[in-house]
Structure 1
Amino acid sequence: MKKTIFSLFFTLAVVAIACSCASCKNASKSTAEPDTVALVGPTFCADSAYAFAAKQCSFGERTMNSKAHDLCGEWIMSKFREFGTTVEAQDAVLTGWDGTKLKSRNIIARFRPEHTTRILLCAHWDSRPWADNDPDSTNWRKPVMAANDGASGVAVMLELARLLQNDTTLNIGVDFVCFDAEDYGTPQWATTPESGDTWALGAQYWAENLPQGYEARYGILLDMVGGEGARFYQEGVSKQYANEIVNKVWRTASQIGYSSFFPMKDGGMITDDHVPVNEKAGIPCIDIIAYYPDCQQSSFGPTWHTVNDTMEHIDPNVLKAVGQTLVQVLYSEQ
């Protein structure tokens, strides 16, 4: 997935908190804090989100131009339709870093398309073709299952769409966008110079080809939102373009008891799908992305771009913290 441009993290060590798997009814929450607020909106079901992630992985690695990719894309579209959203595919042939032509499909699902006030939620759904950060160099050209780095973000969005399908109280529209071709960026073993432009190809295309007049109040990108021990620090590009939204989301997480998952600390500046959303589409967009400051293998965690990014390392408690925070944010909009 992306690269850290530079780190803004304070050098204090942070001990990762091990979370046990929990059901929708007993998902872990941190101790209530003084400025807590009442929960609004429906209860996010982590078990359901977990199942949506597992289903994506059941197709195999969703690498570009593969059968698994195509089948999973059709399934994602069918689920959004089942949940009552208006669904369309934005197809394009994009060019990868190595010249490969990539049959890309951004999936766009709109809840209450008639509303002019809209919130954008997004995640990428493709798998990294190369496990180029794996500790075993013999795995560097193997594909990544992408349970966390891809499937987790889409899973959270699908669960949110499921919860919204019978809603009569939300006074805004929500656009769910599943970006394709995010993770075809230049591998570490390539002799070609690495470039940030080789990442987030689907998001770049979406941002350059918006429907005429499309606007969103703001966007939230979900990336690696289910990994064991994940914590979500405040990402630098997000603070640069959408600091008010960063403050809104992190404050909301704290108010409903998830401050341990959303520490009020700076992370790094990340090349990710939110960059073209901010810079090309002009929509203020933040990135909720896992950050592991003490992980020697990668600040994105031990499974990032390895063959170990599998469902065994997905924690429902993390999915719950992110999902319930987003429910609270959406239902707090006026």
Structure 2
Amino acid sequence: MFVQTGNHEAFHFIINRIMPGIFSRSVNVPQLAILLAFALAACNGGHKRSGEDNNAAAAGTPPPVFAADSAYAAIERQLAFGPRVPGTPAQEKCAEWLTGTLRSLADTVYVQRTKVAVTPQQEVPCINIIASFNPAAAQRMLLLAHWDTRPVADKDAFDKTKPLDGADDGASGVAILLETARHLQARKPGYGIDLLFTDVEDYNSNYCLGTQYWARNLHVPGYKANYGILLDMVGGRNATFFMEGTSRQYAYGPMKLFWDAGNNAGFSSFFPYSEPPGGTSFIEDDHTYVNQIAKIPTFDVIGMQPNGALMPHHHTTSDNLSVIDRQTIRAVGQTLLNVLYGQPFNY
């Protein structure tokens, strides 16, 4: 007889209380039938029927608490390498740190190394890193953020040719995914999750080259996910996360589920149920190519100003640690954990 862990009490109840009564005739037949039915039901209570939602058992368990301080420290660590511009020593050093960190947390880590053309005459190295949890699970979610920084601060009022730290534009999304990975190592949901750290997202007038490469050269042949969540500029002070147009077009259901989770967690000021005002409804970002090339419905969580414009530090030297706000990090990070450890496919 197979007894599932956690049901030993019922098993012992049958052996120690009911069986002696059978032989001593101290239990009459109707009583015996009731007791046996009760005890056997308890023994089988932990078994799941084939096809049941593999998150049902976790539905009543509170999600982990997101540690904004830990994520903030991960932003500091990335900035310590200097601007993570493709083709620089900082790119290699940060890639080595990311890969080592993820290998200590994930079940499987893939590294894609290639070169991508940023002009007809110039190629730069590209390093995509993918960390997988429960890699054998058929039902999956994709989480992604870019980790590179722009080589020039072209929107800066004074230093348009200087590189930038990319504290918000790059490092904040990576930091939230790293903190998420720590929780996933400690407590895996009953489905698969893949963390994609993309490179060469923001190279001058070329965007999302690392993601385009990944979408055409999937780390696992035939890779599919139920949907994807992109985190980009998710740590800025006074950020508002509107429902961006491409996201609504391709992945409105899971996007609304995420917004619902944020509002239910008390972060309604961060997640309004509206598109960006001011003509910035559709944004070209990594999710564009995940949707169009990889055919995985993916939405973008991207920080904007309340008027719908991109953050004032976008592509400037002001995108440094001073613009990072722990409350913004907490709002996005806790919302993400609430989705992952809730009912992420009920939309």
Which residue number corresponds to residue 173 of structure 1? 192
- CA-CA distance at 1:306 after TM superposition: 0.5
**2:163, 2:226 → 1: CA distance?**
36
**Structure 1 match to 2:263:** 254
Look up the equivalent residue of 1:272 and give its one-letter code. Answer: D
**Structure 2: distance between partners of 1:279 and 1:178:** 19
What does residue 284 of structure 1 align with?
297
The CA distance in 2 between the partners of 1:93 and 1:254, in whole Å, is 41
Contact 1:39–1:256 under 8 Å retained in 2: no
Letter in 1 for 2:125: K
User: Which one of 179, 182, 199 corresponds to residue 207 of structure 2?
Assistant: 199
Aligned residues: 281
Deviating 4+ runs (over 3 angstroms)? none
Secondary structure of 2:282 counterpart: strand
1:99 deviates by 3.2
Aligned residue runs from structure 1 range 82-93, under 5 A? 82-93=104-115
Which residue identity is paired with 1:205? Y
Tell me which residue corresponds to 1:40. 62
Identity %: 44
Which stretches in structure 1 are left out of the alignment for 5+ residues?
1-36, 187-197
How far apart, in 2, do the equivalents of 1:324 and 1:39 lie?
15
1:121 corresponds to: 143
CA RMSD of aligned residues (A): 1.6
| Residue identity matched to 1:208 | R
Task: Note the residue ranges of structure 2 that are not aligned, 5 or more in a row.
Answer: 1-58
Task: Specify the alignment match of 1:318 in structure 2.
Answer: 328
Q: Map residues 235-254 of structure 1 onto 2, 5 A cutoff.
A: 235-254=244-263
Match of 1:208 among 204, 207, 216: 216
Aligned to 1:148: 168
Using the TM superposition, give the Cα deviation of residue 252 of structure 1 relative to its aligned residue in structure 2, in angstroms: 1.1
**1:97 touches 1:184 (CA, 8 Å); kept in 2?**
no
- Per the alignment, do residues 213 and 60 of structure 1 end up closer, same or farther by CA in structure 2, a change over 3 Å counting? same
- Greater shift, 258-267 or 173-182, is seen at 258-267
Question: Cα offset for 1:185?
Answer: 3.5
Supply the distance in 1 between the matched residues of 2:288 and 2:233 (Cα, whole angstroms). Answer: 16
Distance 1:99 1:114, change over 3 A: same
**Higher RCO structure, 1 or 2 (CA under 8 Å, sep 6+):** 1
The one-letter code sitting in structure 2 at the alignment partner of 1:182 is E
Superposition deviation, residue 98 in structure 1: 6.1
Aligned residues of 1:180 and 1:203 also touching (Cα < 8 A): yes
Moved more, 81-90 or 303-312: 81-90
**Equivalent residue number for residue 162 of structure 1:** 182
SS at match of 1:305: coil
Q: In 1, Cα distance between the equivalents of 2:147 and 2:71?
A: 14
Please give the alpha-carbon distance, in whole angstroms, between the structure 2 residues aligned to 1:331 and 1:158.
Answer: 16
Contact 2:153–2:317 (8 Å) recurs in 1: yes
Residue 227 of structure 1 pairs with residue 244 of structure 2: no
SS of 2:261's equivalent? helix
Residue 42 and residue 293 in structure 1: after superposition, are their counterparts in 2 closer, same or farther (change >3 A)? closer
3-state SS, counterpart of residue 149 of structure 1: helix
Partners in 2 of 1:224 and 1:39 — Cα distance? 30
Residues of 1 paired with 2:62 and 2:156: CA distance? 41
Cα deviation, 1:17-51, whole Å, max 9, x if unaligned, reads: xxxxxxxxxxxxxxxxxxxx988321110000000
Aligned counterpart in structure 1 of residue 314 of structure 2, from 285, 300, 304: 304
Secondary structure of the structure 1 residue equivalent to 2:145: strand
> Which deviations, in whole Å up to 9, do the C-alpha atoms of 1:173-204 show, x marking residues without a partner?
11000010000141xxxxxxxxxxx2100000
CA shift for structure 1 position 84: 3.3
Separation in 1 of the partners of 2:225 and 2:231? 16
Q: Counterpart in 2 of 1:15? A: none
